[in-house]
Amino acid sequence: MQRLRMETAALLAMAVAATGTMASVGAVTAQADETVVAVSWREFQEERWALRDKPAIQAVLEKAGAQYIETDAAGSAEKQIADIEQLINQGADVILILAVDPSAVGPAVNNAINNGVPVIGYDQLIEDPRTFYITFDNVEVGRMQARAIQDVVPEGRYVFIKGNPADPNSDFLHGGQLEVLKVAMDAGKIVNVGEQYTDGWDPSVAQRNMDQILTDNDNNVDAVVASNDGTAGGVVAALASQGLAGEIPVSGQDADNAALNRVALGTQTVTVWKDARQLGAEAARVALQLAENPDLNAVEGSTMFSDGPNGANMVSILLEPTPITRDNLQLVVDAGWIAADELCAGVESGSVDACP
Amino acid sequence: MNDAAPDQARKAPREPDTRSTGGTPGGILGTFRDKGGALFRSTEIDARLFGLVVALGISWIAFDFASGIWGQGGKSIFGGSFLTPRNLWNLSVQTASIAVMATGMVLVIVSRNIDLSVGSLLGFLAMIMGITQKEILPAIIGFENEFTWLIALGVGIAVGAAIGAGHGFIIAYLGVPAFIVTLGGLLFWRGGAFVLAEGRTIAPLDSTFRKIGGGTDGSLGRLSVDLGLGSETLGWVLGIGVVLIFIGVVVHARRRRRGFGFVTRPLWAELLVVAIGVALVLGAIRVLNAYPWPIRVAERFAEARDIPIPEGGLILATGVAYPVLIMIGVAAVMTFLVRRREFGRYVFAIGGNPEAAELSGINVRWTVMKTFTLMGVLVAISAAITSGRLDAAVNSLGILNELFVIAAAVIGGTSLAGGIGTIPGAVLGALFMQTLQSGMVLIGFGTAQQNMVIGAVLVAAVGIDAAYRRRAAT
């Protein structure tokens, strides 16, 4: 969600050129008898893949006695195609792909499938019905944000602080939000009194936009649907400057430490938690099954997904994210996602269950 | 923070004598051939800055009209919500961060360089200061120590200066073009901000540090109340101080000119300039004082202090925000550097003609390195303002700021060819950029439309400027 926004196409090209020259990892050669699960990562620079997803995948594989190999495309679509070829040559029985560019990875996917290696699109849709798709349901995230806010304020003047306009997820999220609120909006119970995208998901941009929307409405705002925790932070700062933090419900997503702390403090209503470790573990499970039996439809718990840009029928697993409010904060503490003292910093003890 | 008031009062932000700024001595002479032009000329007001102020005034009125029609409506004189004390107060605070950096960018551009790294560096330095105050200092001096903000700010400024000096060294002594060095910096420091905190958000910040970013607590109104004065007092003290210094400067300049036997402005022109300056300063103070504390903030304050709330609510003036004081202070110091110190003269000389500057004995490399060091310091100050205001350090802070800063400098009359530029122009340019951005949010324009308008305005501003220069040259 919070990937850096490259300033211009030129910069992007330069960055790709620079990182593309870095050597790839994963020179392990597999032994013939054990199952080999390969992952082609998009970009290890982004913290979460190495820190949360990879260990979860490895843990499941280790338990099953399967071998793990990987490559890092370092953000280059060309390199990823070469990476995947290399993984096939290393004897991968199944490949998880976090695509740099889902539409450019096609030749490599063909190559894998022609070699009898099943492919799983990991967190990023590769719209080819021969591949499996596993991700968190982003539209559902938007729905959860809207539901949590609507529970608190069923009628009133709503503000929408959307994500980066260049990120397709921003519109998935907003679509989910509107889906939930549509009936109430059509009935005139909920009024949209301000709506802005947030360039680069930058919280200070969200803060400025919220400042202006509050000025425009003379503080006559009842609820704010913000699309992630960064923008929610900006919104809460703007509300705080009017002494309104904690009085107007605000949504978010990502379960950032700062946002979880705000939920405990009561200045943010909800954050939607997508536990990357759950995604990793589930994907590893699917990979092991496909290595046994390459029939996608035989994967336990799979459903059909056809909301992609081309409407292709994909066998998929869409994991349900978890909305976190002050009532179920204990979940993130128990999961080891955040330390209790960080969650409860500045929180009056006993005001929420998770901070005794 | 608290001594920022006398600091900024040392020099008036506006001065009538704009002739010697930059390489435009007499640039406007000979432009106006009609009688009105001659009258205008005798006031010696910089015609280009004047044009910018007029454009600013027009856009303020237009936004106010437009926000009355397309926005939620308001109660200002033109029926909108733009020309309300609240919005103008917001605008002043929102401008501060970009304006502070723009004053440094003027020197960088004037010396024929560019700095593309300021936005990323802002994110990096905000992270440095956030980590210092939230993760390093608490282990040593505890949370919310009274010196926390000062140490964090000091560390940020020191690191900013070091990074700026590093950029400057590579550019000036190793001969790598500034465009490349700072383009590298743009990528490097954004990545660095991420690595420092592994993508985490550092929040909330120290409560004193937060005041650097403004808010009700970070304004002169609150300080006045805390000192047991009326909430408007310090604002007026500041305003009157600035006015007195301004008048002092004008009188001093007139005496000096007469002493050297130079032509002085006619008395009426002198008085006109003084009158306009005084009206602008006191008007600004009046407007910022007219923004009352938000109702809930005032209520909570009254509760905490056991003050009974009078009928009609507790009305306290918010007054000038600290980031605005910082901006004024920085602009004053930078103007002084540019116009009264060798360093400033050297920068303009280098921009005008690097070879001639070198031959005349100016240490060009050292001077260029100093401009980048100064830029690093100013970015650190802006980082403190932005993160203090957000009450969080986030690695995405400052994205695209380099473009806004460069645009502010350019709209303010800085020439990308080098040698020409003014500090007050850059501040006005920043104010203009911010006016467009926050004004368009008020009337409900989306990001895409905002970017289109800002892009068009940037090109138009430079186009008009180029046409003006051509005319002035003939």
Tens digit of each residue's pLDDT (9 = 90 or more) over B279-292: 999 999 999 999 99
Q: Find chain A residues with C-beta within 8 A of B183's C-beta.
A: 11, 14
* Long-range own/partner contacts, residues B360-365 (CB < 8 A, 24 or more apart): B364/B172, B365/B172, B365/B173
Which 302-331 residues of chain B touch chain A by CB within 8 A?
A: none
- The per-residue pLDDT for A34 is 85
Neighbours of B62 (CB within 10 A): 15
- The per-residue pLDDT for A124 is 82
Residue B47 included in any domain: no
Residue B21 included in any domain: no
Query: A180 falls in which pLDDT band (50, 70, 90)?
Result: very high
Whether residue A185 is found in the same domain as residue A328:
yes
Rounded CA-CA distance B432/B125 in Å is 26
- The per-residue pLDDT for B21 is 42
- CB within 8 Å: B200 and A234: no
Q: What are phi and psi of A71, to 5 degrees?
A: -135, 160
Whether residue A120 is found in the same domain as residue A164:
no
Whether residue A313 is found in the same domain as residue A178:
no
With 0-12 / 13-18 / 19 or more C-beta atoms within 10 angstroms meaning exposed / middle / buried, residue B350 is: buried
Whether residue A159 is found in the same domain as residue A233:
yes
The ipTM assigned to this model is 0.79
Return the top range by mean pLDDT from A35-49, B215-229, B351-365, B371-385: B371-385
Residue A4 included in any domain: no
- CB within 8 Å: A233 and B394: yes
User: Which candidate from A199, A203, A243 shows the least CB-CB separation from B400?
Assistant: A199
Whether residue A333 is found in the same domain as residue A226:
yes
- The per-residue pLDDT for B35 is 63
Tens digit of each residue's pLDDT (9 = 90 or more) over B295-328: 889 988 998 888 888 887 889 999 999 999 999 9
Comparing A6-15, B36-45, B372-381, B419-428, which segment has the lowest mean pLDDT?
A6-15
Question: Does B25 sit behind a cis peptide bond, omega within 30 degrees of 0 on the bond before it?
Answer: no
Q: Which domain holds residue B168?
A: 4-12+58-444
Rounded CA-CA distance A22/A33 in Å is 32
Give the residue, B384 or B304, on which the prediction is more confident: B384
What SS3 state is found at A312? Answer: coil
Share of chain A above pLDDT 70, in %: 89
Whether residue A282 is found in the same domain as residue A298:
yes
User: Which candidate from B67, B294, B390 shows the least CB-CB separation from A204?
Assistant: B390
Whether residue A331 is found in the same domain as residue A297:
no
pLDDT > 80? residue A14: no
- CB within 8 Å: A233 and B448: no
Q: In Å, how far is A265's CA from the nearest CA of chain B?
A: 11
Q: In Å, how far is A218's CA from the nearest CA of chain B?
A: 8
In chain B, how many domains are there? 1
- The per-residue pLDDT for B49 is 85
Rounded CA-CA distance A228/A208 in Å is 16
Comparing B81-95, B152-166, B458-472, which segment has the lowest mean pLDDT?
B458-472
Residue A158 included in any domain: yes
Mean pLDDT of all residues in A95-117: 89
Whether residue A312 is found in the same domain as residue A327:
no
Q: Which domain holds residue A207?
A: 139-273+323-343
Name the DSSP class of A91: T
Whether residue A233 is found in the same domain as residue A152:
yes
Chain A touched by B397 (CB under 8 Å): yes
Q: Please, what sign has the CA dihedral across residues B221, B223, B224, B228?
A: positive
Cβ neighbours of residue B428 closer than 8 Å, sequence gap 6 or more:
B49, B52, B53, B56, B412
In contact, A228 and A138? CB cutoff 8 Å: no
Comparing A29-33, A135-139, B467-471, which segment has the lowest mean pLDDT?
A29-33
Rounded CA-CA distance A163/A176 in Å is 13
User: Best mutation site among B64, B69, B72 for testing chain A: the one with the most A CBs within 10 Å?
Assistant: B72
Q: Find chain A residues with C-beta within 8 A of B204's C-beta.
A: 258, 261, 346
Q: Outline where chain A has alpha helix (H).
A: 9-20, 47-48, 54-64, 77-89, 106-114, 138-152, 168-186, 203-217, 229-241, 257-265, 276-292, 330-334, 340-343
Tens digit of each residue's pLDDT (9 = 90 or more) over B170-193: 999 999 999 999 999 999 999 899
In chain A, how many domains are there? 2
Query: B214 falls in which pLDDT band (50, 70, 90)?
Result: very high
With 0-12 / 13-18 / 19 or more C-beta atoms within 10 angstroms meaning exposed / middle / buried, residue A169 is: middle
Q: Find chain B residues with C-beta within 8 A of A211's C-beta.
A: 90, 94, 438
Residue B50 included in any domain: no
Rounded CA-CA distance B7/A351 in Å is 44
Residues in chain B, total? 474
Rounded CA-CA distance A267/A261 in Å is 9
Which 167-196 residues of chain B touch chain A by CB within 8 A?
A: 183, 186-187, 190-191, 194
Residue B31 included in any domain: no
In contact, B288 and B214? CB cutoff 8 Å: no
- CB within 8 Å: B386 and A204: yes
The CATH number assigned to the domain holding A311 equals 3.40.50.2300
Cβ neighbours of residue B13 closer than 8 Å, sequence gap 6 or more:
B242, B328, B331, B332, B335, B424, B427
Rounded CA-CA distance B397/B194 in Å is 11
Chain A touched by B35 (CB under 8 Å): no
- The per-residue pLDDT for B73 is 62
Residue A143 included in any domain: yes
Q: Please, what sign has the CA dihedral across residues B186, B188, B194, B197?
A: negative
Chain A's closest residue to B85, CA to CA, is A215
Q: Find chain A residues with C-beta within 8 A of B299's C-beta.
A: 243
What SS3 state is found at B365? Answer: helix
Q: What are phi and psi of A8, to 5 degrees?
A: -140, 165
- CB within 8 Å: A241 and B215: yes
Whether residue A193 is found in the same domain as residue A332:
yes
Residue B460 included in any domain: no
Tens digit of each residue's pLDDT (9 = 90 or more) over A37-91: 999 998 765 667 777 889 999 999 999 999 999 998 877 888 899 999 999 999 9
Chain A touched by B437 (CB under 8 Å): yes
Whether residue A193 is found in the same domain as residue A216:
yes
- CB within 8 Å: B72 and A234: no
Q: What tokens appear for A286 in the block?
A: 């699917």
Whether residue A258 is found in the same domain as residue A309:
no
Q: In Å, how far is B400's CA from the nearest CA of chain A?
A: 7
- CB within 8 Å: B190 and A7: no
Residue A12 included in any domain: no
- The per-residue pLDDT for A33 is 65
User: Best mutation site among A7, A170, A262 for testing chain B: the one with the most B CBs within 10 Å?
Assistant: A7
- The per-residue pLDDT for A76 is 81
